[in-house]
């Protein structure tokens, strides 16, 4: 179940102002590029789809305006119904998510910072956590492989979905911050 609209916006603001500001205190920050990949899953209903698009739009606005990320360094992939929104770059399916990570890999260096924010519905089958996507969900281990392939070593990965706890184990690494909405997959 998606968060109520006001709670979701508050969460988007908290994540993109509190957690994202922390690395800015380091000297390396001034010499690094900042990139963000925002993912929104299938809303499941018109109301939840609208909420998810609002969370993505608010996170984009926060990153590009007060936090100064270059617009071209913030990529949003979202459910098919959201692709008409000007901030959405492509449909959130496994192929496009992999392509977005590949583009990040091409434009980043080991000194850069990457912020990955996932908004939506999660699931856990007892083995892997997933975020609901069109056609085929990617598992926590798929995201771990995608993040591991990035040259940038400083990654903040935030999964606001239900059942997101397993992402901590799958994605934890040196110089990486993993934040989830739940402790476990249930």
Domain presence at residue 103: yes
User: Would the pLDDT of 173 be above 50?
Assistant: yes
pLDDT reported for residue 3: 45
Model confidence at 183, pLDDT cuts 50, 70, 90, reads confident
Higher per-residue confidence, 103 vs 68: 103
Report if residue 91 sits inside a domain.
Answer: yes
> If you count them, how many residues does the chain have?
186
Q: What is the pLDDT of residue 102?
A: 96
Does a structural domain hold residue 19?
no
Q: How many domains does the chain have?
A: 1
CATH of the domain at 145: 3.40.50.12660
Sorted by sequence, the CB contacts under 8 Å of residue 45 that are 6+ apart come out as none
Cα–Cα dist 1/120, whole Å: 8
Whether residue 23 is predicted with pLDDT greater than 60 in this model: the reply is no
In the prediction, which pLDDT does 162 show?
79
| pLDDT for the residue 142 | 93
Residue 5 has pLDDT above 50, yes or no: no
For residue 23, is it within any domain? Answer: no
Give CA–CA dist 73/36, Å, rounded. Answer: 6
Q: Is residue 21 part of a domain?
A: no
Which residue range(s) make up the domain with 76?
5-11+33-180
Assigned domain for 26 exists: no
Q: How far is CA 115 from the centre of its chain?
A: 7
Average pLDDT, the chain: 80
pLDDT in tens, 35-59: 999 988 777 778 888 888 988 999 9
Determine, yes or no, domain membership for 102. Answer: yes
Mean pLDDT of the region 85-114: 92
Inside any domain, residue 49: yes
In this predicted model, which residue has the larger pLDDT, 123 or 151? Answer: 151
């Amino acid at each position: 179940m998606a968060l109520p609209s006001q709670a979701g916006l508050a969460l988007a603001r908290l994540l993109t102002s509190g957690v994202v500001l922390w690395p800015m205190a380091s000297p390396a920050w001034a010499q690094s590029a900042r990139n963000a990949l925002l993912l929104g899953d299938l809303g499941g209903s018109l109301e939840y789809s609208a909420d998810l698009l609002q969370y993505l739009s608010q996170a984009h606005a926060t990153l590009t305006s007060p936090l100064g990320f270059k617009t071209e360094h913030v990529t949003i992939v979202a459910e098919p119904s959201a692709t008409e929104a000007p901030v959405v770059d492509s449909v959130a399916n496994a192929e496009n998510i992999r392509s977005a990570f590949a583009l990040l890999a091409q434009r980043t260096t080991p000194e850069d910072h990457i912020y990955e924010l996932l908004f939506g519905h999660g699931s856990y089958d007892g083995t892997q956590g997933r975020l609901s996507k069109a056609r085929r969900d990617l598992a926590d281990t798929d995201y771990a492989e995608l993040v591991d392939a990035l040259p940038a070593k400083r990654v903040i990965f935030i999964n606001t979905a239900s059942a997101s706890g397993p992402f901590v184990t799958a994605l934890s690494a040196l110089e990486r911050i993993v934040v989830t909405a739940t402790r476990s997959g249930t």
